[in-house]
Amino acid sequence: MTRQETLSVKEKIQNLREKHQHIFDNNNMPGALFFPKMAYRPRGKDELYISFFASELKRESRIYTEFISSEYYPEDSNRTLWMWNYNPHWEEEYETTEPNSAGQVRYLVPVSELIKVQEVPKTEQKDSFTFLGDSIVQDIPLTEMTVRDLAAIMTGKPVSNKEWLNKIITQK
């Protein structure tokens, strides 16, 4: 039996987090929420999803994740860190799974809603959006803009799921 196989789930998650902790520390978020998740295609769906328990979403904070296997091994050799921006309407907007044996449901979040975290080398951090408090998210491709983001820009109202965009809109 390997060392990884004898670790508890909590220890496995801690080991996964260690890879990304410097990003959290460098951006003044040492206690950032990090929940590694399996990305999968639920029956009847065309795209990949991850699922969160209500207890995770009720924390009203962005959540960082890494795609893993059911045994908590990284699925991506690049060890990509992803961010989900808190959506206050998660209970209404996300579908749920069937209850598990403990009666808990999980909320299905499309992988397409996640934002790939780009690590900013310390020497470049002065050029990032530090005035927004989001120095990890420097720029997001236009292909990741949603209709909600466009509505936020057009109306000047902070209705985007991207916290940094809402901050720009409210700081006009």
DSSP one-letter string for 93-122:
HS-BPPP-TTS--EEEEEGGG-EEPPP--G
Domain co-membership, 44 together with 85: yes
Helix or strand holding residue 81 (H, E): none
Instruction: Tell me, yes or no, whether 83 and 162 share the same domain.
Output: no
Residue (of 24, 90, 19, 11) closest to 53 by Cα position: 90
Nearest CA to 73 out of 109, 36, 30 is that of: 36
The whole-number average pLDDT for the span 146-160 is 85
Number of neighbours of residue 148 by Cβ within 10 angstroms: 14
* Residues 82 and 110 placed together within one structural domain of the fold: yes
Distance CA 5, CA 16 (A): 14
List the end-to-end C-alpha distance of the chain, in Å, as a whole number. 58
Say whether both 106 and 172 belong to one domain.
Answer: no
Mean pLDDT throughout 91-107?
A: 95
Quote the percentage of the chain above a pLDDT of 70.
84
pLDDT digits (tens, 9 = 90+) for 109-122: 999 999 999 876 65
Model confidence at 130: pLDDT above 70? no
Angle, vertex CA 50, rays to CA 38 and CA 28, nearest 5: 90
- 94 and 168 fall within a common domain: no
pLDDT tens digits, residue range 26-54?
Answer: 888 899 999 999 999 999 999 999 999 99
Q: Are residues 128 and 99 in the same domain?
A: yes
**Same-domain check for residues 117 and 144:** no
Are 125 and 152 within one domain? Answer: no
Specify whether 31 is located in the same domain as 89: yes
Q: Which residue has the higher pLDDT, 124 or 110?
A: 110
| From 42-46, 99-103, 120-124, 125-129, the region with the lowest mean pLDDT | 125-129
Domain count, the chain: 2
Domain carrying residue 170: 140-172
Q: Are residues 11 and 49 in the same domain?
A: yes
Residue 122's closest CA among 110, 136, 108, 141?
136
CA dist list (Å): 136 to 6, 79, 152: 34, 16, 22
pTM: 0.69
Confidence of residue 59 (pLDDT cuts 50, 70, 90): very high
- ∠ at Cα 47 (45, 52), nearest 5°? 85
User: Do 101 and 75 share a structural domain?
Assistant: yes
Residues 82 and 148 in one domain: no
